[in-house]
Chains A and B, each alone.
Chain A
Amino acid sequence: MPALRQPMPEQPAAERVRNFGEVALGYTEEQALRESSRCLQCKAAPCRTGCPVEVDIPAFIALIRQGQYGAAADKIKEKNSLPAICGRVCPQETQCESHCVLGKKGAPVAIGRLERFAADTQRQAGVSTPPALSRNGRRVAIVGSGPAGLTCAGDLALAGYAVTVFEALHQPGGVLVYGIPEFRLPKAIVQAEIDYIRRLGVRIETNVVIGKTLSVDDLFAEGYQAVFIGSGAGAPQFMNIPGENLNGVYSANEFLTRVNLMKAYRFPEHPTPVYIGKKAAVIGGGNVAMDAARTALRLGAETVWLVYRRSEAEMPARREEIEHAKEEGVIFKLLTNPIKINGTAQGWVDGLECLQMELGEPDASGRRSPVPVAGSNFMLSADTVIMAIGNTPNPLIPQTTPGLIVTRKGTIVVDEHGQTSRPNVYAGGDIVTGAATVISAMGAGKRAAKAIRAALGQ
């Protein structure tokens, strides 16, 4: 009888909603061994076609099966320098695991959980040694230290390049440190993975805002032979409805940056404050909205509404995050669209006026657009409103880099290798695609690294 897919041990909802500790606790050795034994070790390995960074999945699972956990992690790191992160935040259900042969008749192998197990076990043992590298003397500058930039940097360092990463904030990691909360991705793990990239020889310069402190042209003038732009899509969108500037209204970026990067959940030991009222409304249906809603609960909000204008089926958030949010008590207000935020005389939020929506006919793209139900206005008595309706690319780099072609949406135009309209300037991740996933940004970083190696030579 075939083994069943091993479930992931988790903190119980009632307990975890009061702390910022990680929700998913990771496999025990026994669970990892049992799960790894389910892999059929297919020769064709269709799972690999679903991995944007081409990890040799059957090979690392075989190593786990043999109890060689460090070797399994090293096998992953041949292709992916950030396995503890990917194992946690990749949507495996739509990537590697969706191609697993076992998934046709039952549950696919839990590839992400095994990747996480291998990486965590190696890190806890502290035995990871970066490979010996020969240097080719060529210099590449990376703009932004999020998943795209770190992956590009790691790959180029492995290929012998001298790589410097420039980061605007005081800590590297991009959305991994300011966006994704501690309870989904502990920051100590992000720092450990970034330390590994540093041990590959990558220099990381924080507090450098490319476009302000230095321009892309300055980087070439300083002797860098290629530049990769991985500056992300970090500019928050607002709804442009009345009342958005009232106290108690946040962009999800601000709310999450205060809590994650600045550790406002530990105020006053950490001096950055974050305001949270008793009743919070989070607007949006993506992973960022789930993160913001679950963070609001952990900060002590008694009621948290998730306000989304379509139905649950259209939500872009991962299934797992939606389930976690529901278990923790987030109340889903679906087919609901805010039209106005009301405030007190002192300028604080005291209500969110919404319209009930219904799904109309499918549009040209096949998606059913929400249309308001006339006269359905109602109030949510929210005292905190968090906008998580998406981000756009920050225009700073396009504005200060002559000759860089961008789309009307502000994303940088690249070819299939990540090459921009400027010679030796490459780009990838959210600055090219608009807000997308960690793993797609990593795939873009990897493609650009390949193209840079082809252009500059070994």
Chain B
Amino acid sequence: MFTILKKQELAPSVKLFVVQAPLIARKCQPGQFVILRIDEDGERIPLTIADFDRAAGTITLIFQEVGHTTRQLGRLSAGDALLDLAGPLGKATHIEKFGTVVCVGGGIGVAPVYPIARAYKEAGNKVISIIGARNADLLILEQEMATISDVLYITTDDGSKGRKGLVIDPLKEMLAAGEKIDLVMAIGPVIMMKSVAEVTRPYGVHTIVSLNPIMVDGTGMCGGCRVSVGNKNKFACVDGPEFNAHEVDFDGLMARQKMYHSYERREHRCGGDCSCHR
């Protein structure tokens, strides 16, 4: 059992847990994830490790309530425990001094971007971050990102905080202005990561995305998370989750993410009218 030590609401439907998991805390690196199962009847879901404290033996998980399992998770409180937590899984982010790195986080994607951006900063990079959300209420980790970024841009779809627009807007401007960017790291909804890849492609700026396909075991034994990268099939759970954005088949990934939509609706009995699968 893995005890939840702390619970915090970051935004409506976005929650943070600090979980006791000493073995995972000892080994995990930015870019890695865990698979969790709440209870005996639960499904296995992947969540990125958003932070860790090796001395305290804890990891931080941030999740958005989008369906049956994440809503059930959201109802847990400090003192409750998760039945299963396996990790750290996936390859760690390759961290070195590249020069100027732009870190882009969309929605809940800011959570996985944060430890990576911090590691880039600690490695001596100039870190320019762009974080965005649909509206001000949904924006998370603004303070944390500000602390570890040399420059921070904030965008919201409705203009309720920062610039009105998309996370790619500041990126487009920087590239158009000829700013020297050595690496772009983008994590968020697939459509956002695809747009970032299209923005950087003509400039030949190396761009990395962290993919979020459907997973079951997370250890390379089922291939449920396979994605086409450079026209070769890769298993995101062991070969990734980070890949060269200019080689990823984003349309294929988006189609595969919809595989269970009709089941997920049945499962949390919203009949498809809720906003959780927009």
Contact = CB atoms under 8 A, between A and B. Distances in A.
Interface in B229-264: 233, 238, 249, 252, 255-256, 258-260, 263-264
B267 A212 contact: no
Contact of B27 (A213, A257, A269, A396): A213
A245 B221 contact: no
Contact of B221 (A213, A262, A394): A394
A214 interface: yes
A253 B264 contact: no
A269 B41 contact: yes
Contact of B222 (A206, A209, A253, A273): A253
A50 to B, nearest CB: 31
A275 interface: yes
Contacts of B126: none
Nearest to B69: A271
A432 B43 CA distance: 31
A115 interface: no
B23 A271 contact: no
Contact of B233 (A170, A240, A273, A394): A240
Contacts of A236: 221-223
A396 B220 contact: yes
Given A208-B23, A245-B233, A347-B252, A270 B41 contact: yes
Nearest to A214: B23
B216 A262 contact: yes
A24 interface: no
Question: What interface size band does chain A fall in?
Answer: 35 or more
A208 to B, nearest CB: 7
A272 B40 CA distance: 12
A306 B222 CA distance: 20
Contact of B43 (A214, A240, A272): A272
Interface in A200-219: 206-209, 212-214
B87 interface: yes
Determine the main DSSP class of B at the interface with A.
mixed
Given A245-B228, A347-B252, A254 B223 contact: yes
A148 B234 CA distance: 29
A163 to B, nearest CB: 19
Nearest to B68: A271
B44 A262 contact: yes
A166 to B, nearest CB: 11
Contacts of A220: none
Contact of A213 (B23, B42, B238): B23
A258 B256 contact: no
A247 interface: yes
Interface in B59-107: 68-69, 83-89
B255 A207 contact: no
A234 B89 contact: no
Given A245-B256, A267-B267, A271-B69, A396 B219 contact: yes
A238 to B, nearest CB: 6
B120 to A, nearest CB: 23
A331 interface: no
Given A168-B219, A207-B85, A347 B224 contact: no
Contacts of B222: 236, 251, 253-254, 257
Task: Say which size band chain B's interface belongs to.
Answer: 35 or more
A245 B37 contact: no
Given A170-B44, A170-B86, A245-B256, A209 B267 contact: no
B176 to A, nearest CB: 34
B238 to A, nearest CB: 7
Chain A contact surface mostly: loop
B53 interface: no
Contacts of B220: 234-235, 394-396
Contact of B217 (A257, A267, A268, A275): A257
A238 B228 CA distance: 13
Contacts of B259: 247-248, 275
A306 to B, nearest CB: 20
Interface string B154-173: 00000000000000000000
Interface in A223-268: 234-236, 238, 240, 244-248, 250-251, 253-254, 257-258, 262-263, 267-268
B83 A170 contact: yes
Nearest to A254: B222
Contacts of A275: 259-260, 263
Contacts of A270: 41, 43
A271 B84 contact: no
Nearest to B263: A273
A169 interface: yes
B226 interface: yes
A27 B135 CA distance: 66
A262 B41 CA distance: 8
B41 A271 contact: yes
A209 B89 contact: yes
B117 to A, nearest CB: 23
Most buried by A among B37, B87, B219: B219
A376 interface: no
B267 A268 contact: yes
Nearest to A211: B219
B263 A347 contact: no
B266 interface: yes
Interface in B174-230: 216-217, 219-224, 226-228
Nearest to B89: A212
A126 to B, nearest CB: 23
B251 to A, nearest CB: 8
A268 B266 contact: yes
Given A245-B228, A251-B223, A212 B69 contact: no
A407 interface: no
A245 B88 contact: no
A134 interface: no
Interface string A299-318: 00000000000000000000
Given A234-B221, A271-B43, A395-B220, 18 more contacts: A168-B86, A170-B83, A170-B84, A207-B84, A207-B85, A208-B23, A213-B86, A235-B221, A236-B221, A245-B226, A247-B255, A268-B266, A268-B267, A273-B260, A275-B263, A346-B255, A394-B221, A396-B220
Interface of B: 23-24, 27, 37, 41-44, 68-69, 83-89, 216-217, 219-224, 226-228, 233, 238, 249, 252, 255-256, 258-260, 263-264, 266-267
10 contacts: A170-B83, A209-B86, A212-B27, A212-B89, A238-B223, A240-B233, A247-B259, A248-B259, A251-B223, A262-B43
A-B interface, 5 closest residue pairs, ranked by CB to CB distance from nearest: A347-B255, A273-B263, A254-B222, A234-B221, A170-B84
